[in-house]
Amino acid sequence: MGKMISSIVNMKNGFDFKILKTSAKSKARRGILKTPYGDVQTPAFVTVGTKGTVKSLTPQNLEHVGTQMVFVNTYHMVVSGALSVVAKTGIHQFSGIQKPIITDSGGFQMFSLARQSPHIIQGEGGSSEQPPHLVKITDDGVEFRSPINGDLFYFTPEFSIDAQRRIGSDFAVAFDECVPYGSSDEYTKNAMTRTHRWAERSLQQFNNQTKKQLQQLFGVIQGGCFEDLRKTSAAFISSLPFFGLAIGGVSVGETKKEMREQMQWVMDGIQRDSRPRHLLGIGEFDDIVDAVAMGIDTMDCVIPTRHGRMGKLYSFKKSKVKNKNDSILVENILEIDIIKSQHKSDLSAIDTDCMCYTCHHFTKAYIHHLFKQRELLGYHLATIHNLHFVEQFFSRIRSAIEEDCL
């Protein structure tokens, strides 16, 4: 396996992003993201494999469902204690996932998970108003306790970049502070300013490293729910020499309207930028379509895999599939709750047109039985189906852009 990887790397040394076409109807872009682990056709879904495993699936299964790229969380790799082991081989060999992998900075989980922790450290730095209680944030970095065992961790831009390098992802993300929903203008502005300084430090640390040809860095645009801050952040982050631009903190917006507003402010600020654009943590079907229409190239989200494990399975309505525009694309998706008793005796597949292993071999009745009995195979088969479905959905999106229908 080691040999195989080397030959791939030699064959395609380096990274590239090409925009093949922009839709005549929107800002949607059809592109190719070249990586040492293969080409990613964009817009692309990035499947979440938090701890170096897409929950319940083997790398072989990922191949089958058509996964193009995987997202691993630096926070979890560090807090779980796996970092030192992963560092020995790199995440691709460790996990067996022979796909391009992006790691995040650790910021998002640190703030969101640490806030749920019983280990309270009084916040410092930031504004005098309501600081995130469970972490200690200074301009230098973030100290927090593991919600699992209370161990103390200290993340800085330098630590995050080093950790991501040790993980060996293809794409790393600059260290950032993600503010909670409802943060004030002042608090959000301070966090953004800190994120900008951390972006510069992340870049510097990244460039200081010797072996940089096999990893690229994304900057993160923050700014919360404030138009001026989002635009300031878009302008600042895009002025730095990152390989790509990520948009953070949009997923914490309470309404879809607020989410779209924030995305629009950012996209307006970077519309002429030809670098790849990644939207962090977004992935409901209507959000996907709107994000792509605004010019997003890649996005990661736990929803399809989490829904799978919850028994929420996707299906295309067959009655009026036209694939002509975005609203029809989304309106034709059904979410089946397989645990409901109405599926107990249903001998049809989840989606009769679906070509995935699950739909090809099993009925709704069997999947229902597995979920009712909490059988592990249920989560496996459901995850296969949902991921295959999402990849098909992105394939339709790419076709729609090529045909100027989105």
- Show which residues are catalytic: 104, 300
The answer to whether residues 171 and 243 touch, using CB atoms and an 8 Å cutoff, is yes
> Residue 245 pairs with which residues in a beta bridge?
219, 277
- Among positions 291-350, residues that touch a second copy (CB under 8 A) are 344-345, 347
> Where do we find the tokens 């209370």?
150
Kindly indicate which of the ranges 47-55, 136-144, 255-263, 294-302 contains the residues binding a second copy, using the contact rule CB under 8 A: 47-55
User: For a second copy, which is the closer residue by CB, 323 or 363?
Assistant: 363
142-145 sheet: strands from edge to edge: 135-137, 142-145, 152-155
Q: Please, which residues have CB within 8 angstroms of residue 283's CB and are 6 or more apart in sequence?
A: 45, 299, 300, 301, 302, 303, 304, 390
User: For a second copy, which is the closer residue by CB, 1 or 11?
Assistant: 1
Select the residue interacting with a second copy from 32, 82, 121, 330 (CB under 8 A). 82
Q: What are phi and psi of 142, to 5 degrees?
A: -130, 125
Kindly indicate which of the ranges 51-59, 173-181, 269-277, 292-300 contains the residues binding a second copy, using the contact rule CB under 8 A: 51-59
User: For a second copy, which is the closer residue by CB, 178 or 370?
Assistant: 370
Q: Rounded distance, CA 106 to CA 111, Å? A: 9
Q: Kindly give the interhelix angle for 303-310 and 376-402, rounded to the nearest 10 degrees.
A: 140
User: For a second copy, which is the closer residue by CB, 57 or 329?
Assistant: 57
User: For a second copy, which is the closer residue by CB, 87 or 321?
Assistant: 87
Select the residue interacting with a second copy from 57, 291, 338, 356 (CB under 8 A). 57
User: For a second copy, which is the closer residue by CB, 58 or 193?
Assistant: 58
Applying CB under 8 A, the site for a second copy has a residue count of: 40
- Among positions 344-383, residues that touch a second copy (CB under 8 A) are 344-345, 347, 357, 361-363, 365-366, 369-370, 372-373, 375-377, 379-381
- Min dist. Cβ of residue 358 to a second copy (A): 9
Q: Please, which residues have CB within 8 angstroms of residue 216's CB and are 6 or more apart in sequence?
A: 15, 170, 171, 172, 243, 244
Tell me the residue length of the chain: 406
SS3 31: strand
Q: Which of 396, 102, 128 is nearest to 276 (CA)?
A: 102
Token readout for 353 is 């047109």
- Min dist. Cβ of residue 252 to a second copy (A): 25
Token readout for 396 is 């339709």
Interface with a second copy, residue 88, by CB under 8 A? yes
What is the per-residue binding string for a second copy in 118-157, x denoting contact by CB under 8 A?
----------------------------------------
How many CA atoms lie within 13 Å of 202's alpha carbon, on the beta-carbon side?
A: 35
Interface with a second copy, residue 231, by CB under 8 A? no
Select the residue interacting with a second copy from 42, 73, 95, 202 (CB under 8 A). 95
- Min dist. Cβ of residue 82 to a second copy (A): 5
> Residue 39 pairs with which residues in a beta bridge?
34
Interface with a second copy, residue 1, by CB under 8 A? yes
Q: Rounded distance, CA 400 to CA 32, Å? A: 16
> Residue 136 pairs with which residues in a beta bridge?
143
Token readout for 368 is 């229902």
Select the residue interacting with a second copy from 71, 94, 171, 285 (CB under 8 A). 94
Interface with a second copy, residue 174, by CB under 8 A? no
Q: Which of 77, 51, 97 is nearest to 162 (CA)?
A: 77
Q: Rounded distance, CA 47 to CA 387, Å? A: 8
- Among positions 59-78, residues that touch a second copy (CB under 8 A) are 59-60
Q: Rounded distance, CA 306 to CA 174, Å? A: 26
Kindly indicate which of the ranges 89-97, 191-199, 248-256, 310-318 contains the residues binding a second copy, using the contact rule CB under 8 A: 89-97
Kindly indicate which of the ranges 52-60, 208-216, 294-302, 397-405 contains the residues binding a second copy, using the contact rule CB under 8 A: 52-60
User: What does the binding site for a second copy look like in residue numbers (CB under 8 A)?
Assistant: 1, 51-60, 80-82, 84-85, 88-89, 94-96, 344-345, 347, 357, 361-363, 365-366, 369-370, 372-373, 375-377, 379-381
